[in-house]
Structures are given as structure tokens and as C-alpha cells.
């Protein structure tokens, strides 16, 4: 039987909730599908969308992104989240998602796709370099609470 792979945005609460186990692999602090739905609703007000690779109706990879604009890049797309299910890695889903988000960014008049990854996450860094992304700086954070 042929595998049914589709790329589609998670638009409904039910579709987002179905992505909870997948997204939690990247964001283990999320406690429930309901929390994912609620937090995504807040982010949607800022333009956030979750593009999902569905395999026979099951989410196997996802990219959360939003269009932004700043003085550094002008209009750009920021990738907040990029995750492939641990059991599905190596099948090209991450590359498909990055290519799809880059095409969405181009269609929206953006000249840059930007994302962050942890300094210790060597596997992700290698993946991003292979995908054509370049390291251009460091991301700094300050805990406020």
C-alpha cells in the first residue's frame, strides 16, 4: 500500500492537538494538547502557522513559522519550531518543510528565512548547514523572572 504523505497547515484545534506528541519532542515543557492549542492561539495573533507533514493522517514532522519585519532583515520568515518524529528521521521531512516554508516566505516578499538552534545541538546545526542555512551570529537571552 502506498504511503500518503501530505504537507498541510494545522488549522483546527483538533489538528493542533493531534500534533502534541510530535511538538512535545521538541518542546518537552508543554504539558498537554490543550496547552499547545492555547499557546498556538496566542501565537497565531502574531502570524504563527504550523505546517505539518502528515503520513496517512498522522503528524510526523512540523515547522512552526511566522512572517516578521525588522531593521536587520526587512521582511523575513522566522522558524520558531522544526521537529521530525524521532522514529521518522532521515526520510527528508525536515528538508521538505524548510523548502516549503522558504517558498511561502518568497511568495510573501521575504528575502530571508531565519531560525535559532541550541549551541550544543550539533546534529541540528549540521542539518541546517546541509540545507543551505548559514550561521550569522549568536542569540542571547536574559531570564526576567
Q: Is the pLDDT of residue 27 over 80?
A: yes
Q: Are strands 58-70 and 49-55 parallel, antiparallel or unpaired?
A: antiparallel
Residues 6 or more apart whose Cβ sits within 8 Å of residue 114? 73, 76, 77, 78, 79
Residue 140: Cβ-neighbour burial (10 angstroms; 0-12, 13-18, 19+): exposed
Mean pLDDT, all residues of the chain:
95
Q: Helix, strand, or coil here: 2? A: coil
Separation of alpha carbons 23 and 19, rounded Å: 6
- Is 106 a residue whose pLDDT tops 80? yes
Of the chain, the percentage scoring pLDDT greater than 90 comes to 94
Domains in the chain, ordered, with CATH? Answer: 5-131 (3.40.630.30)
**Single pTM value for the model:** 0.93
Residue located via cell numbers 504539558:
31
Residue 40: phi and psi, rounded to 5, are -65, -35
Q: How many CB atoms lie within 10 A of CB 102?
A: 19
Radius of gyration of the chain (CA): 15
What's the pLDDT at 45? 95
Amino acid at each position: 500500500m502506498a504511503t500518503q504523505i501530505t504537507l498541510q497547515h494545522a488549522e483546527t484545534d483538533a489538528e493542533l492537538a493531534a500534533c502534541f506528541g510530535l511538538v512535545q519532542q521538541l518542546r518537552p515543557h508543554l504539558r498537554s494538547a490543550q496547552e499547545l492549542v492555547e499557546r498556538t492561539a496566542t501565537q497565531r495573533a502574531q502570524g504563527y502557522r504550523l505546517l505539518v507533514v502528515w503520513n496517512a493522517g498522522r503528524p510526523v514532522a512540523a515547522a512552526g513559522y511566522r512572517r516578521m519585519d525588522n531593521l536587520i532583515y526587512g521582511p523575513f520568515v522566522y522558524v520558531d519550531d522544526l521537529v521530525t518524529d524521532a522514529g521518522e528521521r532521515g526520510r527528508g521531512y525536515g528538508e521538505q518543510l524548510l523548502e516549503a516554508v522558504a517558498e511561502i516566505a518568497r511568495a510573501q516578499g521575504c528575502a530571508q528565512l531565519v531560525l535559532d538552534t541550541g549551541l550544543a545541538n550539533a546534529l541540528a546545526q549540521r542539518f541546517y548547514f546541509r540545507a543551505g542555512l548559514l550561521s550569522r551570529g549568536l542569540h542571547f537571552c536574559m531570564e526576567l523572572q
